[in-house]
A and B are shown apart, each in its own frame.
Chain A
């Protein structure tokens, strides 16, 4: 293609995203993690797909939410499938928790960035293992951190201020959902890539729903 000035022998580089998902917002609540994202896949400025699942449970303990290029997210899910498979094959009673998953994803994202072939995503990884809640984020250049509430994309600018103000330890499920819905509403108003169909996932110490 005209804009790809690299020689033919170069391995591929993702230069720009095609089908993208917008913000993901997540917070810790009393019993675990709450995560929300809309179900849209934008193709440039067109709101092209309106039923894309951007929140996926991984293994027994984690929830992965992604924004950015959907094809790269689908590829990450395949990597994780393999990871979980090998983990289960050990059959040793242990299973990868959210902290380990976050670390794995961070290494993958950062190493791809070093090869100038990033996975064009910002990922939110949350979960509960042995009663311990965990919520972290990693983006396409490998920046990663954990916090009580995280968001990607425009969510960082619009949702996090709301969360900084209104989040507290020991939110009930209802309070958490109300807070997330407030964030998603603001995003719908102010993010042009947002659509009005959202998915909310709760992960508590007792179950994944």
Chain B
């Protein structure tokens, strides 16, 4: 630290000036007219609703990414005093005056602006010249797609920022490793690497690829460290432990922290409750908690319960029955038992109530003291409103003919005896004498006569079944599946002897008070699991594209169109940069393999240190491009051009690396070198020109005439919107 003071100030000031200038330009390009357009632009409609949820503290579930990114956006809303009252339903809708557009868009814009000087720093940390570093930053500065993406309430620029921060701090760390390990700055950069990685993962799941890349590079470096015989065993161990703590433990803890903050911020029940388990819902304020507050915990004989299916797909639903019977003959000619239908119904209804009955006794009320039902007990389930018994028998189910029909038994006197005994199997019991608990216990109902298991088949019944979900008895139960598991959601001890009284009782809300809460870890695990398994509707989108279109920029996304003029915002990249960056990647790969093969034959074209620099730059930049791009080929979700931007950023970083290498090592004469520099200047002005031409589409500030717009349509696949007058 003190060494810093001894150095001449001029040197540091010089670097700072570069960075300051770049930062200023970055800020200018990203923040200029930030609150324009005052309308919902493209995916703001998507992220905006979550910001509103945060502002109103309402619980939500979003399968697209962990909550950190949403929270950062919401922070902008919080600082701007947003109250969350805006209906996010249409792209292009004008913002009302209570929406602080500037502060909502500020954070993505800031991160986008800071990426520019960070590109500079990464290249100088990689050991390349100031020229190359400036080049990288200037390319980032005039990349239209990055600008567009940073100026809106979107998360890509935040993700890119944390990706770059992770790489930069790892480089700073590994450079200080050579001089002063275990110094404060060493610790700082090491920890910052871990923190940045976890932030990147916390913004979007795809951040995990950059994290893995950093881990891999750190792993290789650690392996060299192990091989370093000049270090003692103890110091090697310390090095390894420090890395493990900063790169594994810190990110995991941070990730948990995001969820902790998220769950403590959104504590009210909301529209997404239904997807979560009953226990989770009960931990939110309002909603189910209000209903279930004060329910008796232990289910006893005579209890009135609603049974929710744990799997809840295609829809969360409760075991249900009603007066209608199965049709005598189905459309395909098969027969049924013609008994009362049993279904699974996705809405709360008085017909969802069932009474747990002891087969040995006749009364339907809870005795005093209540006799709890335990694992392995045989029970009957009586439908509350019709007092019929839950029954299954060897009749094919309506839609799943391999399973048994489940019905409420009606005695038609046709030698079809009732088979209404069910054995209770508590899946998550503590002991074999475990008591059936409200909400907490997950139970399977196993039919005594046929050992069929009560199961939600997931099929929708036709009109005669009111399009409710089919419930069947699964004969050959192939192991544990959540669709065969049920839990008691609402529960009360029944008191009414007579059917009329009981019906009144069923209609009345439950009461009494026992408070129970789920631990944070259980809530985190459930939320994370549901987020990962939440089905994104894989519907096609007008602007969706395949990864192959991205490299050649064969696709574009119309973000916003002015309601009257033809001013519009369009996600379009700087064609010159995209093309040359892809070219640079190819050149890098070819040169790399060429050198690698020559080195294997002991022909070293490059001095050792410049070879190492070349490899490290390639591993981080070309590797960063590959890990952020290739996995998209395996993904089944709807993909858009903006998914490519993190990969593109790394590609842009690689571009000056390759250029400097060509100029230093392949241009052998001074003349060639000057020629090359001249070419570079021409090329860069070309990129600037493209940036300037596309600028109206990037900022959306200028209305172009149809002919101008047509002239901008350089590729047939660009869907630039042209108004017809």
**Are A and B part of the same complex?**
no
Binding site for B on A (CB under 8 A): none
